Amino acid sequence: MNTTTADKRVLLSLMAAGAVAVAPHAGELPFWIIAVFAVGAAWRYGIEVFQWYRPGKLVRVTLMLLLLVAVFRQFHTLLGRDPGMTLLITLIGLKFLELKTVRDHVVSLFVFYLIILGSFLYSQSLWLGAWALLAVTVCTAALMHVTQPTNLNIAQRLRLSGVMLAKAVPLMIIVYLLFPRISGTLWGLPADAHSGLTGMPDMMQPGNIRQLSESSEIAFRVSFEGAPPALRELYWRGLVLTEFDGRGWQRGVNRAGQEQVSFTPLNEAVRYHVTLEPSNKPWMLALDLPAIRPKGARYQPDFTLEHREPIRERLNYTLTSYTRYNTGALDLAERVLNLQLPGNTSPRAHALARHWQQQHGAPLQIAQAALDNFRRENFVYTLSPPLLGDDPVDEFLFGTRRGFCEHYAAAFVTLMRAAGIPSRVVLGYLGGELNTAGDYLIVRQSDAHAWAEIWMAGRGWVRVDPTGAIAPERIELGLDAVRRLELQGLALGSLSSEAVQRALALGWFEYVARHAHWYWDLTNLTWYRWVVDYGKERQERFLASLGFEDISWGRLVGLVCAGALLVLLVYALPFWRLKKTHDPSHAAYLRFCRKLARAGLARAPYEGAHAFGERAARKRADLAASISEITGLYEDLRYGPMVPDQVKFTTLKKRVATFRA
């Protein structure tokens, strides 16, 4: 089949299929890649409609080589997720220029199916699943148009394609639920598949936590067994920073993971389930402090949890934590590490800390003096702090006095160490947003937080959050409330509860929008739990609920085959019950044959319609014209185009009804 101007509909179907297949990649790949595909399709359309220049083989090969060079210059490799998808999309755009046969069109459509599948390398969201279903429907309709040219219009082809896919759904569900799963992913993703993931950094410098807090992306979700703790107790521990170089804080020397850590709980346990978003980092967030080690995790001596490898897919784990605890004694090496300060530490910070040490002596009283200093000396908590220079602690304490949580945590720990109190910085998240639609907590990157820990004899590590001394609203209400208060020009730390309630009251539009967002998030989470995360463990739990314990791969394959056979039998049953007279044109012709039989002209079992019509016309010359007309109409309807001619069918019915032998 040649695609000609007379039959542009096939080309338009192919272009529509390509557009819906490529569309999800527009937000993931550079613009020029989508532009190359669009130019290739438009060029082909111009060739067929406006007789544009048709490139020969040499030009096409040259364009292909130029595309290879462009892809290599863009990604510095031809291997990987992004280069691979780029090659598929740009080369299939070039393929438009050499479409000639049915095979060329079919190959292009199969590549479109592959491009649709490739979009799931970037995301497995619900909206992408819905779009992929639409794209497959359009591609299948185009495949019908290419391989089986009929008089069906676009709506009819799409409807037929949708019906075919709908009939495949039961078989798809059976295979999805019962096909044997393996642990982990089915194939190894290329190394660049996770390049866009961001999460909690492994160091803290002025500004980097604030930058993270500007993101509204979800970090993790938490479902509690029972009532959740108060918002002010939701400190999600990520990693601990102990080394200070005068400007930034980093983790200490890595130690081998431990099976368990020792501490004494001081309150009731909190049990909860975490769904952690991919971050390309190994940190496993836990409510301070976690008491158990999930599968695939390892404990660090600082009571943090790390996964055995960077988290590049959503991770589910269940934990038990305590919000009050006694961590016990501190060994000499840990004490030295958590008292270390660089030689260029601010002399004024040292002097202030020594003054508190001489005045109070006890670690808790010294810490309280530091917090009182923050309140008394007009320090301001702000989401837009000024930039700091080479000595950020000194500039913040004695200059700008405007900062974010990281500024207060870093300054507080510096002062404590200068006063001889072992202390360290903890990075994680604080609070979260309760989704009442699904009764779970949403913790976003904007909830990123830094706080401090000091060590006290008899109590171990004690959490101190200096941010609470300046902006208690951040601790009690969350960062979103702080942002709204700041936008209204209200000073934090001195507002009455009534003023806060008035300022944070939602209008009807905000109320509806927030609840709509919660329900959408719940829908996406349900999609993830029952579709994306349906792996080996979840399959085993599902089969166990059906009474299949310790089922083998062989039995699973048998169940899949049995289920598929059952679906096929259900679909085949209506066809078995159909009579041969289901074709209305054939039914009309049989009535015609019965009228001739009553006149003594019976049709033999072996006799075709054409042969029988000729014999009957010879026997009844007076009816020859009617017999020939009815036989011709029947043959046209029975053996003609797939879509019957309604006018001919109506004429056949009238001629048979009025026929008298």
pLDDT one-digit tens code per residue, 198-246: 567 778 876 666 666 667 889 999 999 988 898 889 999 999 999 998 8
Average of per-residue pLDDT across 501-530: 82
394 counts as catalytic: no
Instruction: Specify the pLDDT at position 22.
Output: 95
Start-end of H helices in 258-342: 332-337
390 is catalytic: no
What would the mean pLDDT of 123-132 be, rounded to a whole number?
89
Catalytic-residue membership of 449: yes
Q: Range with the lowest mean pLDDT among 36-45, 141-150, 231-240, 432-441?
A: 141-150
Return the pLDDT at 417: 95
Which candidate in 82, 145, 449, 521 is catalytic? 449
pLDDT tier, 139 (very low <50, low <70, confident <90, very high otherwise): very high
> If pLDDT is split at 50, 70 and 90, which confidence band does 105 have?
very high
Position with higher pLDDT, 180 vs 314: 314
Q: Is the separation of the CB atoms in 381 and 404 below 8 Å?
A: yes
Calculate the CA dihedral of residues 583, 589, 591, 596 and round it to 10 degrees: -160
| Residue 595 burial by Cβ neighbours in a 10 Å radius (0-12, 13-18, 19+) | middle
Q: What is the pLDDT of residue 581?
A: 46
Q: Which residue's structure tokens are 């431990």?
A: 258
Phi and psi dihedrals of 464, rounded to 5? -130, 125
Least confidently predicted of 154-158, 255-259, 335-339: 255-259
- pLDDT tens-digit map of 54-88: 898 999 999 999 999 999 999 999 888 899 999 99
Q: Could you give the CA distance from residue 85 to residue 27 in angstroms, rounded to a whole number?
A: 13
pLDDT at 575: 65
Share of the chain above pLDDT 70, in %: 89
Average pLDDT on 575-601 reads 78
Per-residue model confidence (pLDDT) at position 5: 41
Q: What was the pLDDT predicted at 6?
A: 39
Q: What pLDDT does residue 318 have?
A: 92
Residue appearing with tokens 């292009």: 108
Residue of 82, 288, 447, 465 marked catalytic: 465
Check residues 37 and 205 and name the one with the higher pLDDT: 37
Residue 447 CA to residue 198 CA, distance in Å, equals 14
Q: Which of 33-47, 164-178, 559-573 has the lowest mean pLDDT?
A: 559-573
Question: What whole-number distance in Å separates Cα of residue 50 and Cα of residue 358?
Answer: 91
State residue 642 phi and psi, 5-degree precision: -65, -35
What is the gyration radius of the CA atoms in the chain, in angstroms? 36
pLDDT above 50: residue 378: yes
Position with higher pLDDT, 396 vs 556: 396
Average pLDDT over the chain, rounded to whole?
Answer: 85
Tell whether the model's pLDDT for residue 517 goes beyond 80: yes
Is residue 401 within 8 A of residue 378, CB to CB? The reply is: yes
> Which has the higher per-residue pLDDT, 429 or 504?
429
Over residues 620-627, the mean pLDDT reads 89
Q: Which two tokens stand for residue 240?
A: 């601990």
pTM for this predicted structure: 0.72
Q: Which pLDDT score is estimated for 256?
A: 60
Least confident residue range of 118-127, 250-259, 374-383: 250-259
**pLDDT number for residue 486:** 67
The edge-to-edge listing of strands for the beta sheet with 243-244 is 203-204, 249-250, 243-244
Under the banding of pLDDT at 50, 70 and 90, the label for residue 185 is: very low
- Which of 405, 447, 521, 593 is the catalytic position? 405
pLDDT at 8 (0 to 100)? 81
Strand ranges, E, within 135-217:
203-204
Give the lowest-confidence range in 218-232, 341-355, 505-519. Answer: 505-519
User: Are the CB atoms for 276 and 236 separated by under 8 Å?
Assistant: no
Residue 495 scores a pLDDT above 80: no
Residue with the bigger pLDDT between 378 and 19: it is 19
